[in-house]
Amino acid sequence: EVVLTQSPGTLSLSPGERATLSCRASQIVTSSFLAWYQQKPGQAPRLLIYGATRRAAGVPDRFSGSGSGADFTLTISRLEPEDFAVYYCQHYSSSPGFTFGPGTKVDIK
């Protein structure tokens, strides 16, 4: 079973700064099955990145995904006030199916 670990748990940054979020899998995984989501308080998660690097429709280009193998990164090039949220990575495998990482909270410094 693939276990996803996200780091850091919390990232304290100021608007305009660059955010780098890590998602590490317990084994090499298929990049096309790796996605990132943003969740704000009281809201459902929103798909940001799929296939490890592809931006979902309507997602600003300050969000980018990279990585392969077992190490993946979500980068926010310049934080906007609306970007402060929790970010989850997610992977699919035949068993146990879909799994999520524990999340990284990006909060205002």
Which residues are at the interface with another protein (CB under 8 A)? 32-33, 35, 37, 43-47, 50-51, 54, 56, 88, 90, 92, 95-103
Least distance from C-beta 71 to another protein, angstroms? 19
Closer of 38 and 79 to another protein (Cβ): 38
Q: Is the peptide bond before 102 cis (omega within 30 degrees of 0)?
A: no
Single-letter code of the amino acid located at 28: I
Q: Is 74 helix (H, G, I), strand (E, B) or coil?
A: strand
Alpha-carbon torsion (66, 32, 60, 42), positive or negative = negative
Least distance from C-beta 67 to another protein, angstroms? 15
Integer Cα distance of 29 and 88 in angstroms: 16
Least distance from C-beta 72 to another protein, angstroms? 13
Closer of 17 and 55 to another protein (Cβ): 55
